[in-house]
A and B are shown apart, each in its own frame.
Chain A
Amino acid sequence: GAGVSQSPSNKVTEKGKDVELRCDPISGHTALYWYRQSLGQGLEFLIYFQGNSAPDKSGLPSDRFSAERTGGSVSTLTIQRTQQEDSAVYLCASRATGAVGSYEQYFGPGTRLTVT
Protein backbone atom coordinates (compact mmCIF):
# COMPACT_ATOMS: atom_id res chain seq x y z
CA GLY A 1 0.00 0.00 0.00
CA ALA A 2 0.93 3.66 -0.10
CA GLY A 3 3.42 4.91 2.43
CA VAL A 4 3.57 8.22 4.22
CA SER A 5 3.68 11.14 1.82
CA GLN A 6 4.67 14.74 2.39
CA SER A 7 4.36 17.89 0.35
CA PRO A 8 6.02 19.91 -0.86
CA SER A 9 9.29 18.02 -1.13
CA ASN A 10 11.20 21.29 -1.19
CA LYS A 11 10.21 24.74 -0.05
CA VAL A 12 12.23 27.92 -0.33
CA THR A 13 10.77 30.91 1.45
CA GLU A 14 11.83 34.36 2.48
CA LYS A 15 12.45 35.21 6.10
CA GLY A 16 9.26 36.42 7.71
CA LYS A 17 6.88 34.47 5.49
CA ASP A 18 4.56 31.75 6.71
CA VAL A 19 4.79 28.18 5.40
CA GLU A 20 2.55 25.13 5.55
CA LEU A 21 3.87 21.61 5.33
CA ARG A 22 1.56 18.69 4.70
CA CYS A 23 1.68 15.07 5.78
CA ASP A 24 -0.52 12.22 4.56
CA PRO A 25 -0.08 9.25 6.90
CA ILE A 26 -0.64 5.62 6.07
CA SER A 27 -4.35 4.91 6.01
CA GLY A 28 -5.57 3.63 9.36
CA HIS A 29 -2.54 4.82 11.32
CA THR A 30 -3.83 6.71 14.34
CA ALA A 31 -0.49 8.00 15.60
CA LEU A 32 1.30 10.80 13.73
CA TYR A 33 4.58 12.51 14.56
CA TRP A 34 6.44 15.54 13.27
CA TYR A 35 10.22 15.80 13.56
CA ARG A 36 12.82 18.31 12.48
CA GLN A 37 16.20 17.19 11.17
CA SER A 38 18.85 19.83 10.82
CA LEU A 39 21.86 19.14 8.61
CA GLY A 40 23.96 16.35 10.06
CA GLN A 41 21.83 16.14 13.19
CA GLY A 42 19.45 13.69 14.73
CA LEU A 43 15.69 13.91 14.70
CA GLU A 44 14.14 16.48 16.99
CA PHE A 45 10.62 15.67 18.18
CA LEU A 46 8.10 18.43 17.49
CA ILE A 47 4.55 17.16 18.04
CA TYR A 48 2.56 13.94 18.39
CA PHE A 49 -1.08 13.21 17.52
CA GLN A 50 -2.91 10.11 18.74
CA GLY A 51 -6.47 9.60 17.58
CA ASN A 52 -8.83 12.18 19.07
CA SER A 53 -6.63 12.91 22.08
CA ALA A 54 -5.08 16.31 22.66
CA PRO A 55 -1.75 16.45 20.83
CA ASP A 56 1.56 16.45 22.68
CA LYS A 57 3.01 19.80 21.61
CA SER A 58 5.89 19.81 24.04
CA GLY A 59 8.53 19.67 21.32
CA LEU A 60 7.44 22.74 19.39
CA PRO A 61 10.38 25.18 19.65
CA SER A 62 8.33 28.39 19.72
CA ASP A 63 4.82 29.74 19.37
CA ARG A 64 5.55 30.36 15.68
CA PHE A 65 5.09 26.62 15.18
CA SER A 66 1.68 24.97 15.18
CA ALA A 67 0.16 21.82 13.79
CA GLU A 68 -3.23 20.33 13.28
CA ARG A 69 -4.62 17.04 12.16
CA THR A 70 -7.99 17.07 10.49
CA GLY A 71 -10.27 14.08 10.64
CA GLY A 72 -7.60 11.94 12.20
CA SER A 73 -5.74 11.74 8.92
CA VAL A 74 -3.90 14.54 7.12
CA SER A 75 -1.72 16.82 9.21
CA THR A 76 -0.39 20.31 8.52
CA LEU A 77 2.60 21.87 10.23
CA THR A 78 2.57 25.67 10.04
CA ILE A 79 5.55 27.88 10.70
CA GLN A 80 4.77 31.57 10.99
CA ARG A 81 7.23 34.38 10.42
CA THR A 82 9.95 31.97 9.35
CA GLN A 83 13.52 32.51 10.50
CA GLN A 84 16.74 31.25 8.96
CA GLU A 85 17.21 28.83 11.86
CA ASP A 86 13.99 27.11 10.78
CA SER A 87 15.82 25.76 7.74
CA ALA A 88 15.83 21.97 8.07
CA VAL A 89 14.18 18.83 6.80
CA TYR A 90 10.77 18.30 8.38
CA LEU A 91 9.84 14.65 8.66
CA CYS A 92 6.46 13.18 9.37
CA ALA A 93 5.91 9.63 10.60
CA SER A 94 2.85 7.53 11.31
CA ARG A 95 2.31 4.43 13.39
CA ALA A 96 -0.45 1.90 13.77
CA THR A 97 -1.73 1.46 17.31
CA GLY A 98 -3.75 -1.15 19.08
CA ALA A 99 -2.21 -4.08 17.29
CA VAL A 100 0.39 -6.42 18.70
CA GLY A 101 3.84 -5.27 17.69
CA SER A 102 2.62 -1.94 16.35
CA TYR A 103 5.73 -0.08 17.40
CA GLU A 104 7.25 0.89 14.08
CA GLN A 105 7.11 4.45 12.86
CA TYR A 106 6.94 4.81 9.09
CA PHE A 107 8.56 7.99 7.88
CA GLY A 108 7.66 10.19 4.97
CA PRO A 109 10.29 11.51 2.53
CA GLY A 110 10.42 14.86 4.31
CA THR A 111 10.08 18.48 3.28
CA ARG A 112 13.33 20.37 2.90
CA LEU A 113 12.67 23.93 4.06
CA THR A 114 15.12 26.69 3.19
CA VAL A 115 14.58 30.14 4.62
CA THR A 116 16.51 32.85 2.79
Chain B
Amino acid sequence: GENVEQHPSTLSVQEGDSAVIKCTYSDSASNYFPWYKQELGKRPQLIIDIRSNVGEKKDQRIAVTLNKTAKHFSLHITETQPEDSAVYFCAATQNFNKFYFGSGTKLNVKP
Protein backbone atom coordinates (compact mmCIF):
# COMPACT_ATOMS: atom_id res chain seq x y z
CA GLY B 1 0.00 0.00 0.00
CA GLU B 2 0.85 3.67 -0.07
CA ASN B 3 3.24 5.18 2.47
CA VAL B 4 3.33 8.92 3.04
CA GLU B 5 6.15 10.51 4.98
CA GLN B 6 6.07 14.12 6.14
CA HIS B 7 8.85 16.42 7.29
CA PRO B 8 9.58 18.26 9.46
CA SER B 9 7.49 17.20 12.42
CA THR B 10 7.79 20.68 13.92
CA LEU B 11 8.60 23.99 12.29
CA SER B 12 9.06 27.34 13.94
CA VAL B 13 9.27 30.52 11.85
CA GLN B 14 9.17 34.22 12.45
CA GLU B 15 6.07 36.08 11.35
CA GLY B 16 6.49 37.19 7.76
CA ASP B 17 8.90 34.40 6.85
CA SER B 18 8.06 31.49 4.55
CA ALA B 19 7.36 27.93 5.65
CA VAL B 20 7.84 24.79 3.61
CA ILE B 21 6.54 21.33 4.51
CA LYS B 22 7.50 18.31 2.43
CA CYS B 23 5.86 14.95 1.86
CA THR B 24 6.98 11.91 -0.05
CA TYR B 25 4.81 9.06 -1.25
CA SER B 26 5.57 5.56 -2.43
CA ASP B 27 2.80 4.61 -4.84
CA SER B 28 3.28 6.12 -8.27
CA ALA B 29 -0.42 5.49 -8.97
CA SER B 30 -1.47 8.11 -6.41
CA ASN B 31 -3.02 11.01 -8.27
CA TYR B 32 -4.56 13.39 -5.75
CA PHE B 33 -2.72 15.17 -2.95
CA PRO B 34 -4.62 17.34 -0.45
CA TRP B 35 -3.25 19.38 2.43
CA TYR B 36 -5.22 19.84 5.64
CA LYS B 37 -4.85 22.35 8.45
CA GLN B 38 -5.90 21.31 11.93
CA GLU B 39 -6.03 23.92 14.66
CA LEU B 40 -5.85 22.79 18.24
CA GLY B 41 -8.99 20.93 19.24
CA LYS B 42 -10.62 21.42 15.87
CA ARG B 43 -11.34 19.28 12.85
CA PRO B 44 -8.99 19.08 9.85
CA GLN B 45 -9.88 21.46 7.02
CA LEU B 46 -8.73 21.32 3.44
CA ILE B 47 -6.54 24.29 2.52
CA ILE B 48 -5.23 23.32 -0.89
CA ASP B 49 -4.97 20.28 -3.12
CA ILE B 50 -3.34 19.22 -6.34
CA ARG B 51 -3.97 16.56 -8.94
CA SER B 52 -1.19 14.64 -10.61
CA ASN B 53 -1.67 16.33 -13.98
CA VAL B 54 -0.60 19.65 -12.48
CA GLY B 55 2.84 20.64 -11.21
CA GLU B 56 1.93 23.63 -9.09
CA LYS B 57 -1.11 25.32 -7.65
CA LYS B 58 -1.41 28.62 -5.79
CA ASP B 59 -4.07 30.17 -3.62
CA GLN B 60 -3.03 33.55 -2.23
CA ARG B 61 -0.25 32.90 0.30
CA ILE B 62 -0.40 29.12 -0.07
CA ALA B 63 1.04 26.99 -2.85
CA VAL B 64 1.60 23.32 -3.45
CA THR B 65 4.16 21.81 -5.80
CA LEU B 66 4.24 18.25 -7.06
CA ASN B 67 7.16 16.30 -8.48
CA LYS B 68 5.77 13.04 -9.83
CA THR B 69 9.14 11.70 -10.88
CA ALA B 70 10.58 12.06 -7.40
CA LYS B 71 7.23 11.30 -5.77
CA HIS B 72 7.17 14.25 -3.48
CA PHE B 73 4.98 17.26 -2.94
CA SER B 74 5.40 20.34 -0.81
CA LEU B 75 3.30 22.99 0.87
CA HIS B 76 4.60 26.54 0.74
CA ILE B 77 3.22 29.29 2.94
CA THR B 78 4.53 32.79 2.33
CA GLU B 79 4.29 35.84 4.59
CA THR B 80 3.33 33.66 7.53
CA GLN B 81 0.99 35.05 10.17
CA PRO B 82 0.33 33.90 13.75
CA GLU B 83 -3.03 32.49 12.63
CA ASP B 84 -1.16 30.08 10.37
CA SER B 85 0.01 28.28 13.54
CA ALA B 86 -1.54 24.80 13.43
CA VAL B 87 -0.78 21.21 12.52
CA TYR B 88 -0.63 20.55 8.79
CA PHE B 89 -1.23 17.13 7.24
CA CYS B 90 -0.52 15.98 3.74
CA ALA B 91 -2.31 13.04 2.16
CA ALA B 92 -2.29 10.95 -0.99
CA THR B 93 -4.87 8.81 -2.71
CA GLN B 94 -5.22 6.97 -5.98
CA ASN B 95 -8.92 6.34 -6.20
CA PHE B 96 -10.44 8.29 -3.30
CA ASN B 97 -11.23 5.03 -1.51
CA LYS B 98 -8.36 5.45 0.89
CA PHE B 99 -6.50 8.53 1.88
CA TYR B 100 -3.05 7.98 3.31
CA PHE B 101 -2.02 10.77 5.65
CA GLY B 102 1.38 11.99 6.73
CA SER B 103 2.17 12.22 10.43
CA GLY B 104 1.71 15.97 10.55
CA THR B 105 3.82 19.10 10.95
CA LYS B 106 3.27 21.45 13.85
CA LEU B 107 3.88 24.96 12.56
CA ASN B 108 4.52 27.72 15.07
CA VAL B 109 4.60 31.28 13.75
CA LYS B 110 6.24 33.60 16.25
CA PRO B 111 4.98 37.18 16.28
Q: Are B89 and A42 in contact (CB under 8 A)?
A: yes
How far, in angstroms, from A28 to B100 measured CA to CA in the complex?
A: 24
Within 8 A of A (CB), among B73-111: 89, 91, 96-104
B30 within 8 Å of A (CB atoms): no
B67 within 8 Å of A (CB atoms): no
What size tier do the contact residues of chain A reach? 20 to 34
Q: Are A104 and B103 in contact (CB under 8 A)?
A: no
Within 8 A of A (CB), among B18-37: 32, 34
B14 within 8 Å of A (CB atoms): no
Within 8 A of A (CB), among B44-62: 44-46, 49
B: number of interface residues (CB 8 Å): 20
Q: Are A43 and B97 in contact (CB under 8 A)?
A: no
Q: Are A95 and B103 in contact (CB under 8 A)?
A: no
Q: How far is the CB of B99 from chain A (nearest CB, A)?
A: 6
A48 within 8 Å of B (CB atoms): yes
Q: Are B98 and A58 in contact (CB under 8 A)?
A: yes
CB < 8 Å A-B pair total:
50
Q: Are B43 and A104 in contact (CB under 8 A)?
A: no
Q: Are B6 and A104 in contact (CB under 8 A)?
A: no
How far, in angstroms, from A43 to B99 measured CA to CA in the complex?
A: 9
A84 within 8 Å of B (CB atoms): no
Q: Are B49 and A104 in contact (CB under 8 A)?
A: yes
How far, in angstroms, from A91 to B101 measured CA to CA in the complex?
A: 13
Q: How far is the CB of A105 from chain B (nearest CB, A)?
A: 7
B residues with CB within 8 A of A = 6, 32, 34, 42-46, 49, 89, 91, 96-104
Kindly list the 6 A-B residue pairs having the minimum CB-CB distance in the complex, ordered from nearest: A107-B43, A43-B101, A42-B101, A42-B103, A104-B46, A107-B44
Q: What are 22 A-B pairs at a CB distance below 8 A?
A: A33-B99, A35-B101, A40-B104, A41-B103, A41-B104, A42-B103, A42-B104, A43-B101, A45-B101, A50-B97, A56-B98, A59-B98, A103-B49, A104-B34, A104-B46, A104-B49, A105-B46, A105-B99, A107-B43, A107-B45, A108-B43, A109-B43
